[in-house]
Amino acid sequence: MVMQGMERYGYKKEGLAIAENSAKLVEKSGNREYYVTESGDGCGEKVFWGWTLLAYFMVQEIIQGGI
């Protein structure tokens, strides 16, 4: 939601940074239920296909302008 809000209000570069950092977090720690803010370590359920799945689509959504 934050990424989409940034894009909607004209902060596309910042929204893209949020999307890219989210994708890097998932790439580093895998599809986890939640992440430690300070380290980015994944916690909770392993191979959790919930909100984490959005990280795979966020960058493309910003690039294609698809809110």
pLDDT in tens, 21-40: 989 988 888 888 888 888 88
Instruction: Tell me 52's DSSP state.
Output: G
Residue 67 is assigned to a structural domain of this protein: no
Dihedrals φ, ψ of 15, to 5°?
A: -65, -40
> Residue 6 belongs to what domain range?
2-62
Residue 57 is assigned to a structural domain of this protein: yes
Residue 53 is assigned to a structural domain of this protein: yes
Domain count, the chain: 1
Q: How far apart are the first and last CA of the chain?
A: 10
Residue 20 is assigned to a structural domain of this protein: yes
Residue 23 is assigned to a structural domain of this protein: yes
pLDDT at 67: 56
Question: Does the pLDDT value for residue 61 go beyond 90?
Answer: no
Record the pTM: 0.75
The arithmetic mean of pLDDT across residues 11-21, rounded, is: 92
Q: Using a CB cutoff of 8 Å and minimum separation of 24, what contacts does 12-18 make?
A: 12/62, 15/62, 16/59, 16/62, 16/63, 18/58
